Structure 1
């Protein structure tokens, strides 16, 4: 070996040793950590949407509009899904609230190009008057509402599904060719019935039929049981996926809804213009609702759903006995008092909102070590179970423009056994998690959503650049400020 090569080798070894010593001084083992690129915290906030019904005169939407609007503004939710009723989109736009407009053929009519152009003109007129319509959605559940026995809709003489496909293609073309609407996101039609991705009742919209007629596909995955899954017992529940209702039940481990409803739109990403829970007594309690709703928005964002609209913002009717499913979907009760879920979503948004110019998030070097809980006695049923599916601790890594990271964690587990009615409530354990950091961190804080939806914060310190915490079935957020 020549003298110059020996010198180069010595310098390289010295450099590596110096880097390793520096990292170890911060408690970092450089070979142990993968680097995950964060996603924009504000992009998550921007994905949150709620359905409204401004045109329903016998509900709080019509009777107490100004009060509902103020509750909406206070929530921090930036997107609603509705129609053109009166000048509601324009009025909401003044407060920065955007509207996803549902576009469809009028009831009991045969639409044509004039129908499409009327929709485009309405959007342009509304936006010119201050509305912030940024998305237009195709037909709402036409497999339910286009049929002759319901609202008997057609487009160019065709019913469902051919007429719906033709309508969507013409809608997309008209929106994109007009310079005043070309920037709008065009969302595909949704379906309302259950179809079998591998059986005798397939999605009636053919694979790829709408790929060139949308920016985002669409589906309405309400979290109920998932029989399109492998049956196993877990969480004190027989046939766990069949008899549960946790937020990701149909989109993650057994992604029935993606498998069934995304093929017509592939490779475009999906939006969810309806999902959520009713707090009537046959579905979820307000306590469970408060756990599920923040997790629902996070789960859909984690699965790259572009916009997630909860159905809906306000309970439409008073129902003290909680016997009517359709009366209890709101984040607000009928009297406009907040359910705990409203507080939870509001506080999550307040923590993570970060409006401003687009930026490119950076990466965080870290690892998560999740440990099981064995022989856990569930407090309500007194049943003993092992919680060993550590993959059910889910996370989303977010970052704000000031480079602060927010690691959002939750135990994605069911809080109900739906094999009985009303559902049996379950209190699963928190799972112990050790967070190890592979880069210097200056300050750490832990935020947690409580059962009432309130957000508490606990300053903490790293020990050897790591942190141990218990992750419950409610959202916790670890704030990490880089050194």
Structure 2
């Protein structure tokens, strides 16, 4: 939106056909086009092999991969903790005249949803905001901070430079990434292209040479208009940036493909973060941002996180935590993007997301995973999508859903959800134990055996698999 982590989450690739789990591989931190290389940069050679550039690099070269390139074993499981670490949400902690002024309610909501990563605009002059960040960090939350906007001639002001230098001292463990200007292509600056380039490159130099106090990862600027990326061209970034709103449509591979291609015009083959995406629930709005009913958002929001992660998006920040203003008539889209209503009551999307995070919650730390060869057969007309994760306690969770809508965004009408029977076949020694749903009263269905049938729908469901 036009307002003002990073332990990169393990990336995943698309499942192919109807057999196997989510194909996957761990992606590199990425390269920074047009910028000198620091110790973590990796770039592909002419033949596609990885070449580690000098600057004190040690260890094994990583293969350079686009976030939307398929790779890896289709039965590979990802750590459940890595997936939940890819889930983030946007905040506006400086907006004291909105629900964000209730710092305790913000902390409580993040705890209930088990969300550990947030994105916000860095306001270096607000001691109260800094104190709020410290409280979040004490709760285990980590920050992606948007760093200002260009001044005249793309100037990086000396005051902002000074305050950025003190960021590591003020928040020594809390900030994971710094991010370039937010949607600056919407500004009234007639020279926005040149000024944005100069500003972001200056920011990159501060990050790379240690002036910012720490070697932060840098996220590329975000944009609104499709042609803005080509106008700006390559910029230094550890991560590309998506604002991948679907305009009320359901999350699809083809939409994400387009967004990833646009991001590559600025950040090349670097991995990406979706720093904004989500759904507004202002179904009566006429401002060009189609809204969806709350029960529809409850289906789409978890799917966005799952779809982005399986395609290699390092982290996804949904927009936003809470509705900023009351709007009982649901006519203003900007007032209705929250997972929670203005009075902090839960929308169905918050409940569904919190249930998914609770289901997959796992202990921190490095945990090995065990591949799980399997097949899923279905007669569904829509593509079957899935993602396989494993907890440190050993059980696997296979997320399955149909890439199908439940709402016609263009006409504003409900769509009868597509359903189909599906058959899961597991290897010897493993059994499906339960089917978990995120919405509705019947949240768990008991299963038994290495071959089970179930009903697949557009809502993400999770099959728990255990060793016999």
TM-score by length of 2: 0.77
Find the partner of 1:49 among 75, 78, 88.
88
State the partner residue of 2:177: 135
State whether residues 89 and 126 of structure 1, in contact with CA within 8 Å, keep that contact through their aligned partners in structure 2.
Answer: no
State whether residues 89 and 133 of structure 1, in contact with CA within 8 Å, keep that contact through their aligned partners in structure 2.
Answer: no
State the partner residue of 1:266: 268
State the partner residue of 1:145: 187
SS in 1 for 2:307: helix
State whether residues 242 and 274 of structure 2, in contact with CA within 8 Å, keep that contact through their aligned partners in structure 1.
Answer: yes
Matched, 1:438 2:427: yes
State the partner residue of 2:161: 117
Distance 1:126 1:399, change over 3 A: same
Q: Where do residues 171-190 of structure 1 align in structure 2 (5 Å cutoff)?
A: 171-178=203-210, 181-190=213-222
Distance 1:119 1:137, change over 3 A: farther
Q: Where do residues 268-287 of structure 1 align in structure 2 (5 Å cutoff)?
A: 268-282=270-284, 283-287=291-295
Distance 1:56 1:190, change over 3 A: same
Distance 1:57 1:144, change over 3 A: same
Residue 290 of structure 1: how far off its partner (Å): 0.8
Residue 479 of structure 1: how far off its partner (Å): 0.8
Residue 117 of structure 1: how far off its partner (Å): 2.8
State the partner residue of 1:461: 448
Q: Where do residues 79-478 of structure 1 align in structure 2 (5 Å cutoff)?
A: 79-82=117-120, 83-84=122-123, 85-105=129-149, 111-112=155-156, 114=158, 117-128=161-172, 132-145=174-187, 147-148=189-190, 159-178=191-210, 181-195=213-227, 203-206=230-233, 209-210=234-235, 213-224=236-247, 245-248=249-252, 251-252=255-256, 255-282=257-284, 283-372=291-380, 388-389=381-382, 392-420=383-411, 423-442=412-431, 444-451=433-440, 456-462=443-449, 465-478=450-463
State the partner residue of 1:23: none
Larger relative CO (CA 8 A, sep 6+): 1 or 2? 2
RMSD, aligned CA: 2.3
Distance 1:167 1:108, change over 3 A: closer
State whether residues 42 and 352 of structure 1, in contact with CA within 8 Å, keep that contact through their aligned partners in structure 2.
Answer: yes
Residue 180 of structure 1: how far off its partner (Å): 7.8
Residue 50 of structure 1: how far off its partner (Å): 0.7
In structure 1, C-alpha distance between the alignment counterparts of 2:220 and 2:418, rounded to whole Å: 40
In structure 2, C-alpha distance between the alignment counterparts of 1:176 and 1:202, rounded to whole Å: 23
Distance 1:368 1:400, change over 3 A: same
Map Cα deviations across residues 247-303 of structure 1 (whole Å, 9 max, x no partner): 226534xx2212222232121011111110100014100110111111111111111
Residue 49 of structure 1: how far off its partner (Å): 0.8
More displaced, 45-54 or 77-86? 77-86
Q: Select the structure of larger CA radius of gyration.
A: 1
State the partner residue of 1:39: 78
Map Cα deviations across residues 204-229 of structure 1 (whole Å, 9 max, x no partner): 122xx22xx211100201012xxxxx
More displaced, 66-75 or 174-183? 174-183
Residue 363 of structure 1: how far off its partner (Å): 1.0
In structure 2, C-alpha distance between the alignment counterparts of 1:214 and 1:246, rounded to whole Å: 29
Residue 111 of structure 1: how far off its partner (Å): 2.1
Map Cα deviations across residues 79-106 of structure 1 (whole Å, 9 max, x no partner): 1111243422111101111111100236
In structure 1, C-alpha distance between the alignment counterparts of 2:463 and 2:156, rounded to whole Å: 53
SS in 2 for 1:278: coil
In structure 1, C-alpha distance between the alignment counterparts of 2:231 and 2:417, rounded to whole Å: 39
State whether residues 404 and 479 of structure 1, in contact with CA within 8 Å, keep that contact through their aligned partners in structure 2.
Answer: yes
State the partner residue of 1:236: none
Extract unaligned runs of 5+ from structure 1. 1-33, 149-158, 196-200, 225-243, 373-387
SS in 2 for 1:66: helix
In structure 1, C-alpha distance between the alignment counterparts of 2:174 and 2:359, rounded to whole Å: 24
State the partner residue of 1:375: none
In structure 1, C-alpha distance between the alignment counterparts of 2:317 and 2:378, rounded to whole Å: 31
In structure 1, C-alpha distance between the alignment counterparts of 2:254 and 2:189, rounded to whole Å: 27
State whether residues 434 and 467 of structure 1, in contact with CA within 8 Å, keep that contact through their aligned partners in structure 2.
Answer: yes
Map Cα deviations across residues 355-389 of structure 1 (whole Å, 9 max, x no partner): 322233221111111213xxxxxxxxxxxxxxx23
Map Cα deviations across residues 220-242 of structure 1 (whole Å, 9 max, x no partner): 01012xxxxxxxxxxxxxxxxxx
SS in 1 for 2:376: strand
State whether residues 223 and 250 of structure 1, in contact with CA within 8 Å, keep that contact through their aligned partners in structure 2.
Answer: no
